[in-house]
Amino acid sequence: MFKKILIANRGEIAIRIIRACRELGIQTVAVYSDADKNALHVRYADEAIHIGNSAPKESYLNADVLIRAALDSNADAIHPGYGFLSENASFAAAMASAQLTFIGPSADSIRAMGDKAESKIRMKQAGVPTVPGMEGLESEGGFEKAANEIGYPVLVKAAAGGGGKGMRVVNAESELSEGIESARREALNAFGDERLLIEKYVSNAHHVEFQVFGDQHGNLVHLFERECSVQRRHQKIIEETPSPLLTPELRQQMGEAGVAAAQAVGYYNAGTVEFIVDPDTLKFYFLEMNTRLQVEHPVTELVAGLDLVHWQIRIAAGEPFPFLQSHFTQRGHAIECRIYAEDPANGFLPSTGKLLQYIEPHGPGIRVDSGFTIGSEVTHFYDPLLAKLIVQAENRETAIQRMQAALKEFVVHGVITNIDFLQAVISHPDFVNGEVTTRWVETNFNWTPPAEPSFESLVAAALADLTILNRKSEIANQNEHDPYSPWKVASGFRN
């Protein structure tokens, strides 16, 4: 087992990984950029190393500096978390050359799944259903012919892509050449690779993904699904398991497809096979595989009854995964809401600032994975995810009620958050009925914050101004350079 692990990440996931290390008796090394000097994950680790400027490229994405930091601190392994370098095959390969263990799959698996065209070809060979489409096309005529065969609307997307970049929906033949051109341009800019593939655009679909988990000795299982259809800008905001859409038969088919997909690239450690499911036909198609731990992994942990980060570490250290597929059942229901510093009333624009108040909900079945606390700075350099609120209950109905109550108790001041928005989504009949598809937030859900502040909020604000709260802050803000300031004089009621 490892003696010391460097965590090449920040925020809630860094803290979640540090916790797992501590439980396993492993020393931890945090890394931080200029902007994160006082961040929570830095204070939480046993050691912390400064790795560069605030811009991700000059810190959390700098593979050389991270590897040197691991060597300098005598760490045996690096956990990449999610995002940043977690799906970077060259980073995983460079670590191996430096005699360090990458806590994740092999560089080959990452590379195979990172290329959307290659992975799709491999999936077809492995018998995994894929979205009807074509790879390896170059000429416009070729795309035109393929699009007509598939039928509009179609999606052209970057082979080297990810994160919604280099992707265009084309609704008719007249838009095709422009769609190809702009997707190519974006792909070239973002990935230095202009290859595109074309496929049927499934406009009304559920996003359902399967957690897979395997060791380096050939044992690989799935840990059921996560339904992640509540999205904005192609990014998930609410995830749950089990999916309200799946039948037991469909779950079994998709689980088997997920395992087949992972086996096709010799996968080990934690991974996620993403599918889209047409709710009308219940047909499912492989979308892509994420070769890392997911943001939404806690819902799986709660329902499958396994600490995924513990097992990621143990598997990376070479231990066998001792469980078979038959060992696992889904117990109860879990939902995760991502608490973002963003303004849902203003195009989900990120909101930055210092947290003036931060209170997490507590109670039975409530878990909060957080990277911030009162006084923390939320900067524009990184993803605006503040925390993940996860609830578990015996069934979906109770889990929704628990989430509603927990969201109400979550208080964040200093940055605008999506907490009120999440409350509205979780209480909406479409969500309650499990009918939300990936474009629902954009097309079906019209949320606006209340135009007028509530009477109670005005009373509270007025009373706060009258009483101690404001008096304290006024004293703190006082220009104390003036030695004759009246605030220097003791006052009978200021205490």
Q: Site residues (CB under 8 A) for another protein?
A: 356-357, 359, 407-414, 416-417, 419-420, 423, 450, 452-471, 473-474, 478-479, 482, 484-486, 491, 493-494
Nearest to 294 by CA among 104, 107, 118, 484: 104
Cβ closest to another protein, residue 96 vs residue 466: 466
Tell how strand 27-33 and strand 4-7 pair up.
parallel
Cβ closest to another protein, residue 151 vs residue 449: 449
Which of 10, 292, 314, 338 is catalytic? The answer is: 292
Q: Closest approach of Cβ 101 to another protein, in Å?
A: 44
Cβ closest to another protein, residue 71 vs residue 468: 468
Cβ closest to another protein, residue 52 vs residue 414: 414
Q: Which long-range contacts (CB under 8 A, 24 or more apart) does 25-31 make?
A: 26/1, 26/2, 26/313, 27/3, 28/4, 29/4, 29/5, 29/69, 29/70, 29/73, 29/75, 31/6, 31/7, 31/59, 31/60, 31/66, 31/69
Look up 292 and say whether it is catalytic: yes
Q: Closest approach of Cβ 410 to another protein, in Å?
A: 8
Q: Closest approach of Cβ 400 to another protein, in Å?
A: 15
Cβ closest to another protein, residue 307 vs residue 420: 420
Q: Closest approach of Cβ 415 to another protein, in Å?
A: 9
Q: Closest approach of Cβ 362 to another protein, in Å?
A: 15
Q: Closest approach of Cβ 235 to another protein, in Å?
A: 22
Cβ closest to another protein, residue 230 vs residue 403: 403
* Catalytic center residues: 292
